[in-house]
Structure 1
Amino acid sequence: MSALTFRRMQESDLDAVLAIEFSAFSHPWTRGIFLDCIKSGHECWLAFDGLQQIGHGVLSAAAGESHLLNITIRPESQGNGFGHGLLEHLMQQAKVRDAEVTFLEVRESNLNAAGLYESFGFNEIGRRRNYYPAVGGREDALVMAYSLVD
């Protein structure tokens, strides 16, 4: 794996962001959701492997807490440590924003993502019933937390 680089997401990036988002998820975020996140000042970042955009992440932070809202690595680039690198970058941004803890929800069926979060140090703290839309109904979310305090 080469060294990842990062830059802030801008509205002009949304076509490329949506291409990755739609390739990775059955229920992807919309342009409007990403645009709202950019306009509201969330930490919205792009990840690059060399010159190729391979992922993105969105984190909100306020009142000593942060919430990982979206982290996506394009399917053909998954399994190479890029998710860990992007997650590490987003946690650094949470610390810059004075967050002491980060929360996230992950689909119960998304074993790869849950494994990434666990390996990073996130712990499951609860469950949200029927949180996510799913093919054929709804799916539970695992709620996880990560302490940013040393």
Structure 2
Amino acid sequence: MDIRNFQITDLDDVLRIQFQSFDDPYPVGILLELFNRGAGFLVAQVGRSVVGYVIFWIKDGSGHIIAIAVDERFRSMQIGSMLLDKAIELIIQNDIFTVKLEVRKSNISARKFYLKKGFKQVKYCKKYYSDGEDGIIMQYTISNN
């Protein structure tokens, strides 16, 4: 498996993965806007296939994980963990030591994954998502010693 920067030719695979993974996926225009504005956008590749991705942003002194997803056929293979680790590594290279993300209250497996990776729940947001579901803000603080 290789983790590399997203290329526009990866878009169809990213769209396929996000439609597998999210009830309310980002429209293609938003994904392209993030890419064009310089968001961190990494993909995991196995053979010739893109099997996962992570999108992150650095703003106002903190990193923000916008989206992370893995093809359902490749889950439980540590690909999501490796993508998240690489995103955090790149955020640290910018002297940023706080990473935040949002997760749906109902997404128990993702919440457990983030807790295992060292994130803490810092805020509960009622009706955060467009369908009215509550969200949880999670934060990871990187020790710089």
Aligned to 1:24: 21
Contact 2:6 2:41 in 1 (8 A): yes
Q: Which runs of 4+ in 1 moved over 3 A?
A: none
CA deviation after TM superposition for structure 1 residue 30, in Å: 1.3
What residue identity is the alignment partner of 1:101?
T
Contact 1:43 1:58 in 2 (8 A): yes
State how far apart, in whole Å, the 1-side matches of 2:22 and 2:60 are.
Answer: 30
Unaligned runs of 5+ in 2: none
What residue identity is the alignment partner of 2:136?
L
Given the alignment of the two structures, is residue 94 of structure 1 paired with residue 91 of structure 2, yes or no?
yes
CA deviation after TM superposition for structure 1 residue 23, in Å: 1.5
Contact 1:59 1:67 in 2 (8 A): yes
CA deviation after TM superposition for structure 1 residue 129, in Å: 1.1
Given the alignment of the two structures, is residue 149 of structure 1 paired with residue 136 of structure 2, yes or no?
no
- Aligned ranges 1:29-68 → 2 under 5 Å: 29-68=26-65
- After TM superposition, the structure 1 stretch with the greater mean CA deviation from structure 2, 85-94 or 47-56, is 47-56
- Aligned ranges 1:4-15 → 2 under 5 Å: 4-15=1-12
- After TM superposition, the structure 1 stretch with the greater mean CA deviation from structure 2, 48-57 or 69-78, is 48-57
Contact 1:56 1:73 in 2 (8 A): yes
CA deviation after TM superposition for structure 1 residue 104, in Å: 0.4
Q: Percent identity?
A: 28
State how far apart, in whole Å, the 2-side matches of 1:70 and 1:43 are.
Answer: 11
Contact 2:62 2:97 in 1 (8 A): yes
Give the total of aligned pairs.
144
Contact 1:104 1:145 in 2 (8 A): yes
Q: Deviations over 1:82-123 (max 9, x none)?
A: 111111111111112221100000001111111110000000
- Aligned ranges 1:59-78 → 2 under 5 Å: 59-78=56-75
Contact 1:21 1:28 in 2 (8 A): yes
CA deviation after TM superposition for structure 1 residue 128, in Å: 1.4
Contact 1:123 1:145 in 2 (8 A): yes
CA deviation after TM superposition for structure 1 residue 10, in Å: 2.3
